Every structure is written in C-alpha cells, then in structure tokens.
A and B are shown apart, each in its own frame.
Chain A
C-alpha cells in the first residue's frame, strides 16, 4: 500500500512537471507567433498556425496516450489525481457556448442571462452532494452501468443508454457546429471543411486512447482556454478602469453603465434625444414589416400564397438585376442580394417567419435601453400608458401596473425554472458524471468535484465582468462618436459578419446612436482583444481557446455515446464473453460511426443550436436525476420504480417540448404557467420522481443483494466489502 501511495504521489509530481513545461512551451509558442506578426506575416497565416499547432498538439497527446487496456480506455486506469481530473472536467464541461457565447448573452440580457451562470455552476453542488462519491465507490464504466446494477434487468440500463444518447447527441452537434464556425472564421475555410478538420482533431485523440487520451488532452485544453479567456479581459479591465482584476473592477464600470442607460433613456439630454429619433425610425420599420406580413397573410387566406411568394422572389431578382446594371456596380450589395435570392424561403410560412423576425428585430429597438442589473423588468406597460395618455384614469394605471407585474413574475418563474433545469441537468449529464469514475478513490472524487467547480468558476465569474466592461466601452466610447472615424474593431467586424456587428446611420446625423448598433452575442469574446487594443496574435489565441473548449466537450460526449453503445449494449447485453480486443475494436468502430454521423448532421446546420443545448439539460435532468439519486438515498427504490420514473420523466419532458416549441410544430399558447420549452425539465423532474416513488411502492422491495449494493456505495469502505470495480 505504501508503495501505491508513493507511486500515486510520483505520478502526480510527474504530471505537474509535464504540464508546467507544457504551459511554458505554449507561452513561448504564443510569443513566437507574436514575433512573426511583428515581422509582417499576414493574419490569415497566423490563424492557420494556431489551428494547426493546437490540433497537432492534441493529436500528439492522443498518440502518446494510446492504449489497448480496457480500464485505461474507459476510465483512464482510475488514477487521475483530483486536481487534474478537475481541469479535465472543466474543459469537458465548458463548451463553445460557455467560452464564446456566455459573455455575449450577459451583454445582451443583463441580469436575466445570469440564469446560465448560476445554473451551470450550482449544479456541481448537486454532483458533489448526491452523486460523485457514490458513483466512484460503485466504480464501473458508464452511467447506465449503475442503473443496470442497482435496478437489475436490461430495461433500466437500456433506458439509460437511450437517454444518454439523446442528450449527448443533441449536445455534441452544438459543439461540432462551434468547431466549424471557429475554424471557418479564423482560417477562411468553408464551414463544412472546418467541421471535418475539427473532427479529425477530436478523433485522433479519443480513437487511440479513449478516456485516457481524452483526459490528458482535456487538461491541456483547459490550460489553453483559461489563458485565452483571461488575457484579453484583464487587459480590457486595465484599459478601462486601471484595475487588473476585472472581477472587482467592474462594479465601478457597472455604475458608469447604469448612469449612461439613464442618460440614453432621457429624451431631454442630447444623447437621449438622438436615441429617441432613431427609435422612431425603428418603429416605422416595424410597422412596415407588419404591413408586409399582413399582405402575405391576406394572400395566403385568399389561396394565392404561392403566387405571392413568386412575386416576392421576382422583386428580389429585379433588385439584383438593377444592382448589376448600375453604372458602378456595388460588389457588396450585389453579393448580399445574391445571397438573399439563394436563401429565399421555400414557402409562404418560411417567408412569414423571416419577416416576423425582421419585425421583431425592429421592435426590439423601439423601446428604452434595458438596465443591465435590473431583475425581471416588466413590459413597460405603465410607462407606455403614461407617455401616450398622461391623463389616464387610476383604473387604467392599475391595469397597466398589473400587466407589468404579471410579465415580471413570469420572467422570474422562467428564470427559476431555467436555473433549476440547468443545475439538475449538470448533475445528470453522463459525460460529466463519467469523469468521477476516473479518480483513484472516493476521497479524491470528492476533492475532484471541488477542483472541477473551481476551474469552471474561474471562467464563469469572469464572464459577467467582461460583459459589463464591453458594455461600458460601447456606451461610453462608441455611442456618440462619429461615423467618419469608426474604431477599427467596429469596421473590421462589421465587414466580416453583419450578424455579429452591424452599424447603420439611420437618422443621418453622422453620429452613432445605440439603437443604430446591432451586436451579435458572440462578438463580445471574439472582439475583446481588438477592443482592448491587443495585437492579432491574441485574437488567434482566443480562437484557439474557443476551439479547445468545443473540441474538449465534443471529445467527452462522443466517448460517452460510443461507450454506451459498445459497453452497455454490445458487451453487457449482446456478447458478454467478448474478448478485450474485440470490445475495444467495437468501441472504436462505433466512435468513428457516431462522429461521422454527428458531423454529417451538423453540416446540415439544423435549427436552433442554443435550444438544442438547453434541451439536452432538461432531458438529462428528467431522465437520470431521480433514478440516480434515489438509487443511492432510498433503498426501497426498485426496478419498476426506475423504469416508470425514467419513462415518465423523459416522456413528460419531451411531450412538453413537442407541444410548445415551434420547431416541432408546438405553439407558445400551450405553455403551462408560461414556462418556456427550454425548461421543460421543470415538469419532467417531478414526473420522474413520482414515477420512481410510485413504481417502487407498488412492487416488492429490492433483493438483499441490491440493498447491500446500496450500503456498499454509501460507505467508502466496509469490512468484508464487495468489490464492484470493473477492470
């Protein structure tokens, strides 16, 4: 035993040495690229260098960690020290959405966006208290393994596999999408090509070494992503507030932002008056779109929807011809018009959806600037009433007030539901839970959850600071400046992608008003280096960080899916006598198939990616959480309970999404208590718990062996303990 302890300690020290060298090497590499930039190497080449170097690095780690041992392949040999497992979990956890999207979401939605920050961190409290130590003691390979052993029979295991695949697959598509996007943006490759390049990076790693390779790569990816996130934010914080700790400094910036919000909303100030004039123009646009939608509706009602569509398309074509025939053709406008025709909606319903979006976009800009820190703002009915009708009767005022309160309460309810779904979902996603099988002991599993959340926390508590700092910069330096000399980052990004940055002088006063700027959420993180005035090498670093975040999550997810199929279905149910070589061959083959399938689905660019991510959490929370937690904490829970609980949870959650989410043909009118489809888990979870409880109580208590298994997972060590560790 003493030798095992000292070998663990030696392993830990060795790892520390490796990763210290690695970090040093990476910093040297960034400096080298910075020197290349100073020597005049073009940005595009720098982008390629970053992409190629980091993917080669991950592949290298993958090759070095290749293994033919089952325990190494599935759980990295169960000797990952708590600290390193924490870093790996951090990278596994933080996806492209966290790295690139989070700060932008906070920028756009203020307090209401904090649901993601709290939800995606607070879930680890549940992991620590309810799952990680017990799963580690159980010590097998997958989450369905636990369900299979605890509840007996193939059905709970199979349900576990199905649920694991549904939520991991929806999630992995979002990751591969992120990989494609980043690769395309920083290298100029086609989106579809970018998807496959990124996929190659993912596969080389997980294919050769399974969990072992994925673990060590994820540690490396965590280091890159955290460095890439912090450098620009610290720099921005120094340049705006003079304080290098953004998490403290942004309180001051927030006050500046709040003061500016008041000024912009006050039409008696110069800036406020200019804003008001732009808002009026947006209102006109909104009415124009709504008028168009009405003519469309009329045409459809009269049965001539197809003719109307053809007419609209002909108008667009005529516009393009006109542009082309102009004496000085404007290439940019022609390209936009061509794109317009190429992506012209196929039917009247799609056209209506497109126009509705345009109308909603215009409408969003007609209102006052929302205050960043304000929680659950009402819909402004009272304010509107007082503006339109200063002599409103007390009844009218009371009615408007009630409307505001109702809107505010619905927002609060949705916020709470979303936070809960994200938290419980966090504690149910198989690719995260699986990571706690890889520590050497229960003790380390507990410590490892702490390290996981600590490393995740570093990024998550920086994101709100970044959002406020970026807002400060936009409100104080961009708004009110002149169109004649736009800051470089504004002109650069508006040229690259109009969905990220669009700026139009609507009221032709030559000055920028806030309502004239359209910012896409992803811009905040991507453009921070430029806003802070850092060289391009840092932008490349940020891209590498985003790529690391997306790749590491995709790695973990693909492995989860492939393992569920190969271990739980093939080995446990189809051929329990399969040899080690055969098991690994099947696992690797499936990994390849799943990866290609995921890449193919991604290249079709399916609907709303953000919704898919949120849906994965609701689904996982409804399907897994009740059976997993009650499996440990309630000895009476049995086979029938687990089966009913998982079916009820998953069923209710999916049913709610189907009736309320428009992608599946649902409508918002079907919502219960006004809860959005993304938080469907709020109904799925209680259904799941009820299912487990009722199902268990109406059937006999589980056998003595199973009850002993529960005792076994509850205590880190018992005399004459059975050994459930799978090797």
Chain B
C-alpha cells in the first residue's frame, strides 16, 4: 500500500508531538533531579521544590502529558482520516 503525503504529514506531526512531550518528561524528571540540591532551597507551602516535584509535581505532569497525547492524537486521527471505524 502506497502512503500519501497526507499520511506522511500525520506521522511527522505525531513524531513532533512525541518529541515535545518526551522533552517535558525529560525536564521534569532528569533536569530537576540533576539540580535537586539547588532547587530544594526554594520552599513553597512547606515543600522544598525538588522534593515536591519528585513526590507529586512530576507525577501530575506525567498524567497530564499522557492525557494530552491521547486527546491530541485522537484529534489528529480524525483530521487526517486515519481514525478507526467505530467497531
């Protein structure tokens, strides 16, 4: 089966979205860990920042990242006509 340009564009947009979301995942996880000692000097509502990110903040962002990916991709499927039949 020959893919059309539209199909390729869909896949490229998927790759871009994946890369951006992976970037967010990387920053909230590894960049925060790397600078944990420095970031812990910032205290918000009793929580040192890096501690808060590890315990809750990063988790909330992970949930949001996955939610956004599912929503956006399901939209793109429709936009590019590659969505599944309702079966």
Query: Which residues of A approach B to under 8 Å, CB–CB?
Result: 1-2, 4-5, 111, 114, 117-118, 121-122, 124-126, 128-130, 133, 247, 251-252, 254-255, 373-376, 408, 412, 415-416, 419-420, 423, 440-443, 446-447, 449-450, 453-454, 457, 460-461, 464-465, 708, 711, 714-721
Neighbouring B residues of A114 by C-beta, 8 Å: 51, 54-55
- Tell me, rounded to whole Å, the shortest Cβ–Cβ distance linking B71 to chain A: 9
Complex contacts, A441 vs chain B, CB 8 Å = 84, 87
Whether B74 contacts A717 by the Cβ 8 Å rule is: no
Q: Write the chain B residue with the least CB distance to A114.
A: B54
Q: Which chain A residue has the least Cβ–Cβ distance from B22?
A: A129
> Closest CB-CB distance, B36 to chain A, in whole Å?
4
Contacts of B1 on A, CB cut-off 8 Å? 708, 711, 718-721
Known: A715-B10, A716-B83. 4 other contacts (CB 8 A): A121-B62, A128-B69, A440-B87, A449-B66
Write out the residue numbers on chain A whose beta carbons fall within 8 Å of the beta carbon of B34: 412, 416
Within 8 A of A (CB), among B50-70: 50-51, 54-56, 58-60, 62-63, 65-67, 69-70
A718 (CB) vs chain B CBs: closest residue? B1
A454 near B63 (CB under 8 angstroms)? yes
With A114-B55, A716-B77: A125-B66 Cβ-Cβ less than 8 Å = yes
Q: What residues of chain B lie closer than 8 Å to A133, measured between beta carbons? A: 73
Q: Mark B residues whose CB is within 8 Å of A.
A: 1, 3, 7, 10-11, 14, 18, 21-22, 25, 29-30, 33-34, 36-37, 40, 45-48, 50-51, 54-56, 58-60, 62-63, 65-67, 69-70, 73-74, 77, 82-87
On chain B, the residues within 8 Å of A412 by CB distance are 33-34, 36
* Bound-complex Cα distance A586 to B63 (A): 40
Q: Give every chain A residue within 8 A of B54 (Cβ-Cβ).
A: 111, 114, 117-118
The docked-state distance in angstroms from the alpha carbon of A419 to that of B34 is: 12
- Contact A122/B87 with A111-B50, A416-B34 known, Cβ cut-off 8 Å: no
Q: How far is B25's CA from A129's CA once the two chains are assembled, in angstroms? A: 11
Per the bound structure, the CA–CA distance linking A719 and B30 in Å amounts to 41
A317 to B49, CA, bound (A): 55
Cα A715 to Cα B77 in complex, Å, equals: 8
Alpha-carbon gap, A415 to B50, bound state (A): 13
User: How many whole Å from B41's CB to the nearest CB in chain A?
Assistant: 11
B46, chain A: closest CB distance, angstroms: 3
17 inter-chain pairs at a CB distance below 8 angstroms, sorted by A residue, are: A1-B85, A111-B40, A114-B54, A118-B54, A125-B21, A254-B46, A375-B50, A375-B51, A412-B36, A442-B84, A449-B70, A450-B70, A715-B7, A715-B82, A717-B82, A717-B84, A717-B85
User: Is A457's CB under 8 angstroms from B63's CB?
Assistant: yes
Q: Assess A125 versus B36: contact at CB under 8 Å? Given A1-B85, A464-B56.
A: no
